[in-house]
């Protein structure tokens, strides 16, 4: 069961790192956009990507998904779960692109990808069902002064993109 606080954390706009085992080699770990519906994570990938090939190889595939805040005081959650492949969800790419880029830039990104030949027919979805979540929130350790300090600091010195 995911706590309401973790649910809000997952629903915020964050880039996650998806790690998939590759036998004797180091795991494949890549940054991904994700969608969280309250019960599972969804990551859209090209059907020919290394991620898609690894998940199709072993069903279900054990994976980890690390979600973190990029600004202090830091928070993170590591989701351990089982991943399966499925067909692309209609409109998911547009919804993700708008979530991460905003409406105008998101629509431009989708149009650019389609011009590049990456349309919805060439996409698939990796669905991740969380089995265990390990998280830590450094905000309480920062104390009230630390939270105020980091909040003011972010206001004057935003994190560069």
Domain of 18?
Answer: 4-156
Q: Are residues 77 and 66 in contact, defined by beta-carbon separation less than 8 angstroms? A: yes
99 pLDDT tier (thresholds 50, 70, 90): very high
148 within some domain? yes
Each residue's pLDDT tens digit, 146-158: 667 766 777 777 7
Residue 90 lies in a domain: yes
The predicted-structure confidence for 54-93, as pLDDT tens digits, reads as follows 999 988 999 999 999 877 667 899 999 999 999 988 899 9
Domain assignment present for 92? yes
35 located within any domain:
yes
CATH of the domain at 71: 2.30.110.10
In a domain, 161, yes or no: no
On the question of pLDDT at 122 being above 60, the answer is: yes
Mean pLDDT value across residues 31-52: 94
19 vs 26, 30, 110, 116, CA distance in Å? 10, 7, 25, 27
Angle between helices 103-115 and 92-101 (to 10 degrees): 130
What is the domain count for the chain? 1
Output Rg (C-alpha) for the chain, integer angstroms: 17
């Amino acid at each position: 069961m995911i706590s309401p606080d973790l649910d809000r954390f997952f629903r915020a706009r964050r880039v996650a790192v998806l790690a998939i085992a590759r036998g004797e080699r180091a795991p494949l770990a890549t940054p991904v956009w994700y969608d969280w519906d309250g019960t599972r994570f969804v990551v859209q990938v090209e059907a020919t990507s290394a991620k898609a090939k690894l998940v199709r190889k072993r069903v279900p595939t054990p994976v980890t998904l690390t979600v973190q805040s990029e600004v202090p005081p830091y928070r993170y959650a590591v989701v351990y779960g089982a991943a399966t492949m499925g067909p692309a969800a209609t409109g998911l790419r547009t919804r993700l692109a708008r979530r991460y880029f905003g409406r105008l830039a998101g629509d431009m990104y989708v149009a650019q990808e389609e011009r590049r030949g990456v349309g919805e027919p060439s996409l698939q979805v990796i669905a991740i069902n969380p089995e265990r979540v390990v998280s830590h929130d450094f905000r309480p350790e920062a104390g009230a002064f630390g939270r105020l300090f980091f909040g003011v600091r972010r206001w004057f010195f935003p994190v560069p993109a």
